[in-house]
Amino acid sequence: MKITSVEAIPFAIPYRKPLRFASGEVHVAEHVLVRVHTDDGIVGVAEAPPRPFTYGETQAGVIAVIEKIFAPQVVGLSLLERETMATRLSRTVGNPAAKAAIDMAVWDALGRTLDVQVTELLGGYTDRMRVSHMLGFDEPAAMVAEAQRMREQHGITTFKVKVGRRPVGLDTAVVRALREGLGDDIELYVDGNRGWTASESAMAMKEMSDLGLLFAEELCPADDVLGRRWLVSQLDVPFIADESAVTPADVTREVLGGSATAISIKIARTGFTHSQRVHHLAEGLGLEVVMGNQIDGQLGSMCTVAFGSSYQLTSRRAGELSNFLDMSDDLLTEPLEIHDGELTIRPGAGLGVEIDPDKLARYRQDT
């Protein structure tokens, strides 16, 4: 069970339409496939989606740090030496997606070696999650039409709405149109990606106070410490810390400081090992948790389902698991399918997925 090599393979798959939000927009999934090889001939896989406008990582940067710094530190370790591995990787600051992908590929390799599902290794609470679909910036009619299509085709009834534009009425009108167009039986929450000020956020939430929102997420910047605390103190819905609360220490700071009352766990930036730590802390603090999405492809989405379904807390709410539907293609031999608003884990060892060699050859960028 010793690691013999780590591959970082760049690939690019266009989106059918760009996803737009307050901190940027994405037209092409320029991700990195990470493969961890062992001396038993096992190969574990994971996906690293760089987000330069949020964490400063780029596709080229992920590859460089894995090949030049991280791979030499993990080669020779056993798949069971995950704590040693995490300690070594933590010596290098930043690079969350690169670290997370290595960690998840190791878990996948361990599951394949032991012939056990990753979900069972993590906790094994259930085998599925309800799906929340993320709606990016567009005209109200177009966003309502997309949500209706998701409900009709996939049974999705929870929607995360990107907000953060100015004037705030642009987005409050969209949320109102969604509620009126889809009815009271759907769940709605909003994510500002730090796009508004605290006062703009308060104004927007007041305008939407009658729409039955589940959550508000990262409406204003966390470094506006006083403004953020003021905002959170007057809201009557849980305020989710996302990019402001990546590590357990971040979560502790934001929650105890009064800047958040719920958190988003994204395995694309904390892997399985550190996501466990964030989950356990949230459980101890009595926080609501949403499984987030880093605009992952199907492999990344399966990793999210594998983790989220492992625990009662993370499977309680719908997870953000459907953005792969906006991609024009993907790398898996058997594409993921959402039925009745749910995504289930795959049977088989590890993550239960395989990479299609022909598709990888078509989309990889290093040949």
DSSP of 56-115, one letter per residue?
Answer: ---HHHHHHHIIIIIHHHHTT-BTT-HHHHHHHHHTS-S-HHHHHHHHHHHHHHHHHHHT
DSSP one-letter code for 346: P
The residue whose two tokens read 């090949």 is 67
DSSP one-letter code for 214: S
Give the integer Cα–Cα distance in Å for 8 and 25.
24
Residue 58 has pLDDT above 90, yes or no: yes
User: What separation in angstroms does the CA of 154 have from each of 15, 184, 298, 343?
Assistant: 19, 18, 16, 10
- The stretch 103-125 carries a mean pLDDT of 98
Residue 204 confidence (pLDDT): 98
Task: Report CA torsion sign: 73, 302, 191, 275.
Answer: negative
Reduced to 3 states (helix: H, G, I; strand: E, B; else coil), residue 232 is helix
10-26 pLDDT, tens digit per residue, is 999 999 988 777 667 88
Instruction: Please report which confidence band the pLDDT of residue 217 belongs to, taking 50, 70 and 90 as the band edges.
Output: very high
305-353 pLDDT, tens digit per residue, is 999 999 999 999 999 999 999 999 999 999 999 999 999 999 999 999 9
Average pLDDT, the chain: 96
For 335, the token pair is: 């594409």
Give the integer Cα–Cα distance in Å for 191 and 202.
13
Q: Please, which residues have CB within 8 angstroms of residue 303's CB and are 6 or more apart in sequence?
A: 46, 47, 104, 267, 268, 272, 296, 351
150-182 pLDDT, tens digit per residue, is 999 999 999 999 999 999 999 999 999 999 999
Give the integer Cα–Cα distance in Å for 147 and 292.
18
Predicted TM-score (pTM) of the model is: 0.96
Residue 17 confidence (pLDDT): 83
3-state helix, strand, coil in the chain (%, to 5): 40, 25, 35
Residue 131 has pLDDT above 80, yes or no: yes
- Catalytic center residues: 162, 191, 217, 242, 266, 294
Residue 261 has pLDDT above 80, yes or no: yes
Residue 26 confidence (pLDDT): 85
**In contact, 340 and 333? CB cutoff 8 Å:** no
User: What separation in angstroms does the CA of 309 have from each of 296, 319, 342, 344, 355?
Assistant: 17, 10, 11, 9, 22
Instruction: Please report which confidence band the pLDDT of residue 53 belongs to, taking 50, 70 and 90 as the band edges.
Output: confident
Residue 367 has pLDDT above 80, yes or no: no
What is the total residue count of the chain? 367
- The stretch 136-159 carries a mean pLDDT of 96
Reduced to 3 states (helix: H, G, I; strand: E, B; else coil), residue 156 is coil
